[in-house]
Structure 1
Amino acid sequence: MPELPAGVERRSFDGVERLATRGEPVYGEPTADGWRAWNPDRSKLGAMFELGMDTGLEGGETVLYLGAANGTTVSHVADFAGPTYAVEFSPRPTRDLLEVAERRSRLFPLLKDARKPETYAHIVEEDVDVIVQDVATRGQADVALRNRRFLAEDGRLLLAVKARSEDVTASPDSVFSAVRESLESGYEILESRRLEAHHMDHLGIVARPQK
């Protein structure tokens, strides 16, 4: 199984070994000795780690996080990564995200639409190491392709594809196949895996920009 990034460990909480990062709690998760449990049932990236996907993360990377919502997962990312730009479209969860960022100096919330990267291109630095994408919208491959402009040549895309957000009438297998095909116009897919153990009708993808 691939090594976890620096700053992500398996720690014991009430006798159960779980993924964890060191930081202030956010959503009522168990804590112990300054560590906070990372629930893979509430985090697609956490599920990718739990399932042993090779994300390429080592810790300290600059991250562009698309679909930050209330900050559940991106708070863990900011615990172990470097500067973390958190894009969220909806004002209500962004208010929660701002509160999370108050206790994390490396977390920068942006009330923006991930489908329109030109609206935050003046804020997000070029050559980010990682794009983490978890957006509930149609055209999820298109979002990844539009935001490829920010990714370093040797960077990684960590994408959680939500089948039901893409097309509620199609089978998840058909959706995943179509997303992969579209994505390959700008990315090389390194690994993909169903996240069913933690998230129904989701596919995790690790990719890098095509040369």
Structure 2
Amino acid sequence: MNRGRGRGGGRGREGGMKGGNRVVVEPHRHEGVFIARGKEDALVTKNMVPGETVYNEKRINVQNEDGTKVEYRVWNPFRSKLAAAILGGIDNTWIKPGARVLYLGAASGTSVSHVSDIVGPDVIVYAVEFSHRSGRDLVNMAKKRTNVIPIIEDARHPAKYRMLVGMVDVIFSDVAQPDQARIMGLNASYFLKTGGHFMISIKANCIDSTAPAEAVFAEEVAKLKAEKFKSREQVTLEPFERDHACVVGAYRLKDQ
């Protein structure tokens, strides 16, 4: 942990900002996530590849009292459902240092890169993306992040990549499909350990554009239950995403 000014934090300068604005970096209550306190507070993760950005995000360099330096990357909640859920007050993402993660719907790897920072270099993040255009960016990001394995496949057919993916502790799903609960259930049956956890981002109008968002979310939670997922909490992703919710819970619990 960084020991410097603040609660386990350090003082630093924001890279690329005129005058080098002073910031203080403190641990967030979610392990592996931090808050940079300055003129405006920002969610950040410790950069696993110092000096490199993934999506032109700002970087913050912190010098600790012992002279060591740490670089953090600002995490944009308008470009990451996971960051939006954290700022929305989710109690537990289960994505933490040492957790093995399967990320469905990885897109260009914006969120995956921050998950890579959080879990650390000694465990794997499996990132599945169907689009070859987004997949190119994902593959390029993974070249510099040795803990990310990019998989350019359709998440609806996990049998196609079953030889590439080991058992995981957490599945994060951002697959905007009407049958997304079933897709996550299929992947969980292959890869998610019993008692493991899930996070799913639900886009209401992708499932039913005529029903109220809350009704769609409730219906999806019922579908998740049928797939052996027990939902524990739900947060809206407003103001970062409209009519989105993130649901978190556990898989194949003994009391189900």
Secondary structure of residue in 2 paired with 1:49: helix
Q: For the residues of structure 1 that align with 2:145 and 2:95, how far apart are their CA atoms?
A: 20
Q: Give the length in aligned residue pairs.
A: 207
- 1:75 shift after superposition: 0.7
Are residue 85 (structure 1) and residue 126 (structure 2) matched?
yes
Question: CA shift at 1:154, angstroms?
Answer: 2.5
| 1:9 paired to 2:3 | no
1:103 aligns with 2:129: no
Structure 1 runs of 4+ with >4 Å offset: none
Specify the alignment match of 1:40 in structure 2. 77
- C-alpha displacement of 1:169: 2.9
Q: How many Å separate the matches in 1 of 2:94 and 2:109?
A: 22
- 1:57 Cα deviation (Å)? 3.1
- TM-score normalised by the chain length of structure 1: 0.93
Distance 1:105 1:15 in 2: 34
Letter in 2 for 1:204: C
- In the other structure, the counterpart of 1:50 is 87
- Which among 234, 249, 254 is matched to residue 192 of structure 1? 234
Distance, in Å, in 2 between the alignment partners of 1:194 and 1:171 is 14
Residue of 173, 177, 186 corresponding to 1:137: 177
Structure 2 gap ranges (5+): 1-27, 62-70
Alpha-carbon deviation of 1:197? Answer: 2.2
CA distance in 2 between counterparts of 1:52 and 1:3 reads 10
Instruction: Give 1 or 2 for the bigger CA radius of gyration.
Output: 2
Please give the residue correspondences for 1:118-133 in structure 2 after superposition, counting only pairs within 5 Å. 118-126=159-167, 128-133=168-173
The equivalent residue for 2:106 is 68
Deviation at 1:119, TM superposition (A): 0.9
Matched position secondary structure for 1:40: coil
Superposed CA deviations along residues 132-183 of structure 1, whole A, max 9, x for unmatched, are 1111211111111111121112311011111122122332122212111100
Mapped partners of 1:58, 1:76: distance in 2: 11
Q: Per-residue displacement from partner, 1:170-201 (whole Å, max 9, x unpaired)?
A: 32122212111100111111111111221101
SS at 1:35 equivalent: strand
SS of 1:125's equivalent in the other structure is coil
The answer to which structure, 1 or 2, has the higher relative contact order (CA under 8 A, 6+ apart) is 1
- Whole-angstrom CA distance in 2 between matches of 1:57 and 1:31: 22
Give identity over the alignment, percent.
38
Q: Distance in 1 between matches of 2:180 and 2:207?
A: 7
Report the counterpart of residue 187 of structure 2 in structure 1.
147
